[in-house]
Structure 1
Amino acid sequence: MTDTEHTENDEDTTGTMYDVVVLGAGPVGENVADRTRAAGLSTAVVESELAGGECSYWACMPSKALLRPAIARADARRVPGLRHLVEGPLNAAEVLAHRDYEAADWKDDGQVAWLESIGAVFHRGHGRLAGPRRVVVDAPDGGRHVLTARHAVVVSTGSRAVLPDLPGLDEVRPWTSREATSAKQVPGRLIVVGGGVVAVEMATAWRALGSEVTVLVRGKGLLPRMEPFAGELVAEALTEAGADVRTGTSVTSVTRENGTVVALTDTGDRLEADEILFATGRAPRTDDIGLDTVGLEPGTWLSVDDSLRVTGSDWLYAVGDANHRALLTHQGKYQARIAGAAIAARAAGVPILESDPWGAHAATADHRAVPQVVFTDPEAASVGLSLAEAERAGHRVRAVDVEFSSVAGAGLYADGYRGRARMVVDLDREILRGVTFVGPAVGELIH
């Protein structure tokens, strides 16, 4: 049966048959569908929210739309002949309107049309596994559809924000990354809890838009997974921009009193704000997709082999955030291409991995050498291991540090350019174990 042949009888008994069923229509799921359709496999894509996923509506696109004006203004203020033209505040209404445009006003017509243009069948609704190779979709209109996969079911449901276990937190209606990137107005006062990427990017964006921002970090500094100087330089810049950055501070309770958020800390402080953002980690969105019906634990990260097939299964695959290899969109898309190729090869009876371990069917990219950029001012970019990580792994290494202010030409980019680079050199193998850059526009260098 082809992907366009639907009958009531099929749905009432074995379900509509496809070669591949993809759970999740974010950029990762879309890429899987693109590859399997290109290989001639009928493919259904199931999405409970918006086709295009987190990246299009609540992460990559809206966050960069919020951050770009902030960083462009900061850059202009460091260029002779321009700084006097950009001393005023950002036009928040224009920034938010452009953010809305880039997020397609949270409508997925274009993304659905693209899926249909490649020949995939889009099912809107909540999809759950119902045993091997079967997915039950509860549609928004109350209907139920049963999909059966000949060859593969692919989990690409992504991850979600984790909130701490604080009494009464639900009543406070805290922001997560989603609310932080989609808010319709600038809060007068914003508390940001956390020191990772989401925390520092959103602190940068909303401070530039006029919020009084307080950042509360439980640990010693910002960006704890990077070299210490990265967090230090970003913290200095946030402080200079008017944010209040407090390290070694945890929130012990939070309430909303007459519309005002009141947060108490373990240092004895009482803080008031209009909104509070918790950017305290991610968890897999696998808690309600029927993993228990195939012998897996709901709510867990899914372990996979290099063809992205779930450990112990010959038909279930997991790509992107769900397998916890690297929670980055570009890595998820890479995995999606590999998974699509592996599924197509297996469907055609082509043996893979054992005979072709370095070919197009194995995600063998080094998970420790994934480039990433934090779009703050200054930007922080890294690839590979930090010095501490390399030493913990037992490598004999040394750090080579360079102050960008001493590099010829840095002054051409910005007056008083401040930044730093570190290379972690393996003394035995004479290779780089890691590189970190911090400074304006260093995201353009990390590749």
Structure 2
Amino acid sequence: MTDATEASETITYDVVVVGAGPVGENVADRARASGLSAAIVESELVGGECSYWACMPSKALLRPAVARADARRVPGLRHLVEGPLDAAAVLAHRDSYTSHWKDDGQVGWLDSIGVDLYRGHGRLAGTRQVTVTAGDGTVRRLIARHAVAVCTGSRAVVPDLPGVADAKPWTSREATSSDHVPGRLVVVGGGVVGVEMATAWQALGARVTLLVRGEGLLPKMEPFAGELVADALREAGADVRTNTSVREVHREGATLTVTLDDGATVEADEILFATGRAPRTDDLGLETVGLEPGAWLTVDDSCKVTGSDWLYAVGDVNHRALLTHQGKYQARIAGAAIAARAQKVPLLETDRWGTHSATADHDAVPQVVFTDPEAASAGLTLAAAEAAGHRVRAVDHDLAAVAGSGLYADGYRGRARMIVDLDREILLGVTFVGPGVSELLHSATVAIAAEVPIERLWHAVPAYPTISEVWLRLLETYRG
């Protein structure tokens, strides 16, 4: 650790951002757009986890798998896509979407908006101070006139099990950047990363065993989402086991032996642990400002850290919604709040849906799981709504019964649910599961965020024949 007094150079900016992923980039961009000077610090690649090890590479791996599955359900086309995927072409396409793990384009964008980039490890060094230690040992001290924004994201957590260290397990990073298709892959964890990577690598030719501690997949979504995704994975050839935990892992040469809690074993070439994430705050100098190293940072709706008037925590590090699009949303909110406070513009703290309040992180968080079938949700599940004390009704409809679904794919299987607040007659949550449903999600997000009354939604007429006609069917079911 380097003390701030050892710095060879001190530079002052209005805003200093630590972490140049999508969240940090957006905070810096909003600061510059408001006329503030900004610096950004990054120890790895500009563009962050999303660009190189998460959103972009994972979706590049998944798109061919889902496209082939869709094509196989279309008469007159399925016979053309019966063969295996060209794994080499898929991996090459993935590499192009990560810019071959080079960040020249992202660096150029920062330069174009006038944000200064400092490469190295950034640490807080007291109030409004950040030290940056470069790879050659050079230390600079950055001082922020108005705000420091911590945008360092999160990292995958690997459980401390016997043999894990020697097994050289995959995390989400290795799973999205591997240059080869493993013959046998064990995936531990039934959340988003687990099911998406199981889908991708099974389609690319790996024999996948998915081990899930709980009773089903995708536990944060409606139960039927995990059920439909599990059925599809099994039909694709994956071995999906629930209520199962790993006891130990042993590697002997190229072969892994995974021992389960019941004593059974599974052999594999690689094992992916998709079992949770932790904040990247352990070596951030939080102790210099009275905060606990390694902790998630608690913030208000402007993303200002509790008890501070200058420190912001934006994106994964505040644990509000670990999703890139929500982090970028928070960044826009935080950037506007930082600029307003710097310019001494009063914030309307009571305005839930104002420019400076990240209300959607409470009420209308959207998420898509890009499996086959897709699972897409916004807002609250039935269980979450009831736990929050709302008086609600769940309204379900079979997506296969909608005219557009049958045209989209033979044998279409899917389900839709909306959660209605019976006291206010608005939507609190919507979930869709089925092929192609990700494109339905934004309409649900708008309806929830805007608190559109059910009586108004009745007049939003869906085009025929599309899958979106499910909106009409849900409303008809609700009205009876």
Same fold (TM over 0.5): yes
1:168 equivalent in alignment to 2:163: yes
CA contact (8 A) 1:307 1:353 kept: no
Deviation of 1:305 after TM superposition, in Å, equals 1.3
Q: Which residue in the other structure is 2:428 paired with?
A: 433
Deviation of 1:357 after TM superposition, in Å, equals 6.2
Q: Which residue in the other structure is 1:12 paired with?
A: 8
CA contact (8 A) 2:7 2:131 kept: no
Q: Which residue in the other structure is 2:85 paired with?
A: 90
Report the RMSD for the aligned CA atoms in angstroms.
Answer: 1.5
Q: Which residue in the other structure is 1:182 paired with?
A: 177
The residue type equivalent to 1:328 in the other structure is L
Listed as ranges, the matches of 1:223-372 within 5 Å are 223-354=218-349, 358-372=353-367
Which of residues 97, 100, 118 is equivalent to 2:95?
A: 100
TM-score, normalised to structure 2's length? 0.89
Which of residues 383, 387, 390 is equivalent to 1:388?
A: 383
TM-score, normalised to structure 1's length? 0.95
Q: Which residue in the other structure is 1:111 paired with?
A: 106
Task: Looking at secondary structure, tell me which structure has more helix per residue.
Answer: 2
Listed as ranges, the matches of 1:196-211 within 5 Å are 196-211=191-206
* Distance across 1 between alignment mates of 2:206 and 2:199: 10
Q: Which residue in the other structure is 1:410 paired with?
A: 405
Instruction: Name the SS for the 1:72 alignment partner.
Output: helix
Listed as ranges, the matches of 1:13-32 within 5 Å are 15-32=10-27
**Structure 2: gaps (5+ residues):** 443-480
* Distance across 2 between alignment mates of 1:187 and 1:147: 45
The residue type equivalent to 1:47 in the other structure is E
Instruction: Name the SS for the 1:20 alignment partner.
Output: strand
Which of residues 49, 69, 72 is equivalent to 2:44?
A: 49
The farther-off stretch of 215-224 and 336-345 is 336-345
* Distance across 2 between alignment mates of 1:422 and 1:352: 37
* Distance across 1 between alignment mates of 2:361 and 2:41: 30
Q: Which residue in the other structure is 2:211 paired with?
A: 216
Which of residues 101, 105, 124 is equivalent to 1:129?
A: 124
Deviation of 1:355 after TM superposition, in Å, equals 7.7
1:399 equivalent in alignment to 2:365: no
Deviation of 1:368 after TM superposition, in Å, equals 3.4
* Distance across 1 between alignment mates of 2:158 and 2:310: 33
1:65 equivalent in alignment to 2:60: yes
Percent identity of paired positions between Structure 1 and Structure 2 = 76
* Distance across 2 between alignment mates of 1:249 and 1:86: 35
The farther-off stretch of 26-35 and 300-309 is 300-309
Q: Which residue in the other structure is 2:32 paired with?
A: 37
* Distance across 1 between alignment mates of 2:89 and 2:364: 38
**Cα offsets for 1:264-323 (capped at 9, x unmatched):** 001221111000000001111111110000000011111111221111111100111111
Paired residues, number: 438
**Cα offsets for 1:97-154 (capped at 9, x unmatched):** 0000000100011111110111111001000001111111110122111111111100
- Post-superposition, which runs of at least 4 consecutive aligned residues in structure 1 deviate over 6 A? none
Deviation of 1:420 after TM superposition, in Å, equals 0.7
CA contact (8 A) 2:8 2:138 kept: no
Deviation of 1:427 after TM superposition, in Å, equals 2.5
* Distance across 2 between alignment mates of 1:11 and 1:257: 47
CA contact (8 A) 2:419 2:427 kept: yes
